[in-house]
Amino acid sequence: MIQPDAPIPVYLQIANIVAGRIERGELLPNRPIPSETQLRQEFGVARDTARHAVAVLRERGLVFTVPQRGTYVAEKPTGRSMRS
Amino acid sequence: MIQPDAPIPVYLQIANIVAGRIERGELLPNRPIPSETQLRQEFGVARDTARHAVAVLRERGLVFTVPQRGTYVAEKPTGRSMRS
DNA sequence: CTGTATTTGTTCGTATGTATT
DNA sequence: AAATACATACGAACAAATACA
């Protein structure tokens, strides 16, 4: 699933995979996404890389993190004002 | 006793020290090894490092952990069937 | 029965060092 | 030099189960 030697960095690959799960509704709003440890185990990467992936999702506004609690799926940006 | 800047990681140094105590019979089967807190105090390390050391001992089959109870010295692998 | 302390389990935050590309 | 990735190590917070006074 993950291509270590890839043209696109591992942390981005993971971020995209998780983003896909969110978009498909496999991960629901205000529900936790896999912890850093779980991401490490699932994708066989270092914590650093898992964290980086989560950071990307946060920057995209897809998730929010509660320190010492976990990272959760953000509420969907309500469809308002798509055009100007 | 512990060499922080060492060629061999602190968690391994601690694991080896405790392993030595087990092998020398200073820690007996089905008796608890020092708790994470005690390891932290004795070696002046973070809980993370103490836990990592215990995890190594567990992987080596030297100890087993009972959640919310402690970690105990494993029974010696009975000497039977050493040869074929 | 009721707290309090102990112990392991789990989470995220942060920093450093190393190696590779 | 910069980005990526891994390993190590410390910190902080909370949960849950157990043990005990």
CATH number at residue A41: 1.10.10.10
Residues of chain A with pLDDT under 50: 84
What mean pLDDT comes out for the span B59-71?
Answer: 97
For residue B2, being part of any structural domain is answered with: no
First and final C-alpha spacing in chain B: 40
The answer to which of A1-10, B13-22, B30-39, B63-72 has the lowest mean pLDDT is A1-10
What is the reported pTM? 0.88
For residue B53, being part of any structural domain is answered with: yes
Nearest to A31 by CA among A77, A73, A78: A73
Q: Tell me the angle at which helices A47-59 and A36-43 cross, rounded to the nearest 10 degrees.
A: 120
For residue B46, being part of any structural domain is answered with: yes
Residue lying closest to nucleotide D14, CA to C1' = A68
Q: State the total domains in chain A.
A: 1
Q: Nearest nucleotide by C1' from A4 CA?
A: D5
Handedness of CA B2, B3, B5, B10 (dihedral sign): negative
Burial (Cβ within 10 Å: 0-12, 13-18, ≥19) of residue B54 = buried
How far, in Å, CA of A16 to CA of B1, rounded?
46
- Does the C-beta of A68 come within 7 A of strand C? yes
For residue A84, being part of any structural domain is answered with: no
What mean pLDDT comes out for the span B42-67?
Answer: 97
For residue B21, being part of any structural domain is answered with: yes
